[in-house]
Copies of this chain bind each other. A is one copy, B any other.
Amino acid sequence: MRKKVSESVINRLPRYYRYLTELDSGKVERISSRELSRRMHVTASQIRQDLNCFGGFGQQGYGYNVRFLKESIEKILGLDRGYRAILVGAGNMGKTFAINTKFESRGFKLIGIFDSDPKKFGTMIGTHKVLPYSRIREFITEHKPQMAILAIPKTVMHEVANQLISYGIRAFMNFSYTELSTPDNIAVENVHLGDSLMRLSYKLTEKQNNENPHKND
């Protein structure tokens, strides 16, 4: 068992992965920590520290092997495991996420989309036909997805999550604008777009304060 990795490291791993994927598809074979640092807007020492959490990958004076580092981060993130995901909720948010997220190129398979609104049954989202929520148990038993993306109202969030856990789902991405609490053995990623807006507000305010340092003293 590895030691606990801090949330900020976990937050940076997908970014490393995206950059390295870009470099790799651009046929770049090696990158110095200085260059990686410039592209990532993170200090070189931060990068070394981050990667050291997982055993370290650099060679002094030699830089990183792009493909090797990319594949290592892929394994750390579990992107090599071929996780199967289902989407619950075929409203605007669900549709947007299903269409815009490159599931396959990130190693995931989106295998089913469900909704409880009969008007949506049979409509297409990308290559998927929306299925009735009433068939979700049977579907999970048969296809064994590990992850569910919840794009449903927060009023039904916990009820749906508990059902899906009892059917075998182990991980949730939750768009319901409320924190989803689950047992410890279940993985959860709460997405709060409103939080991003507040972080932006913080950054803008900092910049304004720095430009007019005495304005709000």
**Most B CB within 10 A of own CB, among A10, A102, A187, A208:** A187
Chain B nearest Cβ from A205, distance in angstroms: 3
Please, which residues of chain B bring their CB within 8 A of the CB of A2? 206, 209
Tell me whether A95 is interfacial, beta carbon within 8 Å. Answer: yes
A204 to B187, CA, bound (A): 5
User: What are 21 sample pairs from A and B whose C-beta atoms fall under 8 A apart?
Assistant: A1-B213, A8-B11, A14-B199, A15-B195, A18-B192, A79-B201, A81-B205, A92-B96, A92-B99, A93-B96, A100-B193, A106-B197, A106-B198, A108-B201, A147-B201, A170-B207, A171-B201, A171-B203, A185-B207, A187-B204, A191-B193
Q: Is the CB of A83 within 8 A of B201?
A: yes
Q: Is the CB of A14 within 8 A of B198?
A: yes
Name A residues whose Cβ lies closer than 8 Å to a Cβ of B: 1-2, 6-8, 10-11, 13-15, 17-18, 76-79, 81, 83, 85, 92-93, 95-97, 99-103, 106-108, 146-147, 170-173, 177, 185-189, 191-211, 213
Chain B nearest Cβ from A160, distance in angstroms: 17
A108 to B206, CA, bound (A): 17
A188 to B201, CA, bound (A): 10
The residue in chain B whose Cβ has the minimal distance to the Cβ of A178 is: B18
A-B residue pairs, 4 tightest by C-beta: A78-B205, A187-B203, A14-B195, A189-B200
Q: Contacts A177-B100, A193-B101, A210-B1 given: A202-B146 contact, CB under 8 Å? A: no
Q: Is the CB of B14 within 8 A of A192?
A: yes
A199 to B78, CA, bound (A): 9
